[in-house]
Amino acid sequence: MSLTVLTVVGARPQFIKAAPVSHAFAAHGGIREILVHTGQHFDAAMSDVFFEELDIPPPAHNLEVNSLGHGAMTGRMLEKLEEVMIAEKPDWVLIYGDTNSTVAGALAAAKLHIPVAHVEAGLRSFNRRMPEEINRVMADHVSTLLFCPTQTAVANLKTEGITKGVHHVGDVMYDVTLAAVERGKGRSKILERNGLAPKTYAVATIHRAENTDDPQRFARVIQWLSDRGREMPVIMPVHPRTRKLMEKSGVNPTGVRLIDPLGYLDMAWLTHNASGVFTDSGGLQKEAYFHGVPCVTLRDETEWVETVEAGWNRLWTTAEYKPRRDITDYGSGDSSSKIASLIASSKT
Ligand code: UD1
């Protein structure tokens, strides 16, 4: 008997995470996936390119909700997702990560009594001022299946009283990275286009509200990047939120090469060949580790604590890395197929 899974995606990192799981569903057989794009990210460079490069089937529904405040954005998504879920009657709703699209998908499904499966469950920064932290906590507390990328995530859920339906499956982003390096090798011309030699430069990305919304904080982050730019070449693909802010405030990093957002293969190849990564992105912190590149995280805490414990990552507020070791938590590139099997074998 075939099972129907309605997958909700909306923001760039969700397209990346959904790709290997979609492929695992197709390989598993017996699972029909209906992909719903909330529309949160809509620029070709923030959305379409990922569908093309990662071979994700076009979404069955695009709700075109974007560029609104948190309440309006989440509210409109909730309303439209509910309509789609009523029409499609899925057996499961699958959500990813911690964005407004995640929490809207979780709430719409839970209220319709459709079981929710959450990929990247259990992550906590313990900073409730981050919109992502609220989204994570809310999503986890209404989920039936909770797919944790790390043991720390499992422990975080236990602390909140969630033990049922919790599975440590590893990190689907590791699955994607393995495939991307192989494909990027032959195809990406990102180094040539930017005149960069391998292991001579750092990659930077900044987009989190906690860094961009307070002008003083934003100026500090930009100054920190400018200081690094004096020490080595730094290349920075700029997220639309950050681009808007730079234009509005006139605050730009000096000595840092600003480029447009990159597709997945170019970004993976750029990171793979970098000598360092400076970022406030959760995904890129781990990708740096997957590529064997040290990272400095421009935040005051991280959900990916094992990257810091294992000496591959440090917060910008600390000077030293810990001694380096491998991280086993993220699995061996088979997290997506574990997720497909667990969904297929779970009773709804
Ligand atoms: C969202 C997520 C964040 C995630 C990030 C990945 C929430 C609360 N935040 O943040 O957790 O790390 O995605 O990128 O859900 N914009 C464009 N074009 C686009 C996308 C966005 O111009 O394709 C503009 C929007 O109009 C808005 C700004 O960028 O002005 C921010 O976009 P938004 O979707 O609100 O959140 P992100 O900062 O991308």
Ligand 1 centroid to Cα of residue 51, in Å, is 17
Per-residue pLDDT at 258: 97
Per-residue pLDDT at 336: 98
* pLDDT tens digit at each of 348 positions of the chain: 689 999 999 999 999 999 999 999 999 989 999 999 999 999 999 999 999 999 999 999 999 999 999 999 999 999 999 999 999 999 999 999 999 999 999 999 999 999 999 999 999 999 999 999 999 999 999 999 999 999 999 999 999 999 999 999 999 999 999 988 888 888 899 999 999 999 999 999 999 999 999 999 999 999 999 999 999 999 999 999 999 999 999 999 999 999 999 999 999 999 999 999 999 999 999 999 999 999 999 999 999 999 999 999 999 999 999 999 999 999 999 999 999 999 999 976
Is 11 a pocket residue for ligand 1 (Cβ < 6 Å)?
Answer: yes
191/273 Cα distance (integer angstroms): 9
Q: Which of 207, 239, 272, 291 is catalytic?
A: 207
Residues whose CB is less than 8 angstroms from the CB of residue 62 and which lie 6 or more positions away in sequence, other chains included? 36, 37, 39
The class level of CATH for 3-171+331-345 reads alpha beta
Ligand 1 centroid to Cα of residue 241, in Å, is 7
289/305 Cα distance (integer angstroms): 12
Name the amino acid, one letter, at 249: S
Q: Which two tokens stand for residue 220?
A: 């500090």
Ligand 1 centroid to Cα of residue 42, in Å, is 9
Length of the chain: 348
Per-residue pLDDT at 193: 96
What are the residue ranges of CATH 3.40.50.2000 in the chain? 3-171+331-345, 176-315
Under DSSP, is residue 161 helix (H, G, I), strand (E, B) or coil? coil
Cα distances (Å, whole numbers) of residue 24 to 41, 97, 104, 112, 178: 24, 18, 24, 26, 15
Per-residue pLDDT at 182: 85
286/307 Cα distance (integer angstroms): 7
Whether residue 37 lies in the annotated active site: no
Q: Which CATH architecture has domain 176-315?
A: 3-Layer(aba) Sandwich (3.40)
259/211 Cα distance (integer angstroms): 19
39/68 Cα distance (integer angstroms): 11
Under DSSP, is residue 213 helix (H, G, I), strand (E, B) or coil? coil
The residue to mutate among 8, 41, 206, 248, having the most atoms of ligand 1 within 8 angstroms of its beta carbon, is 41
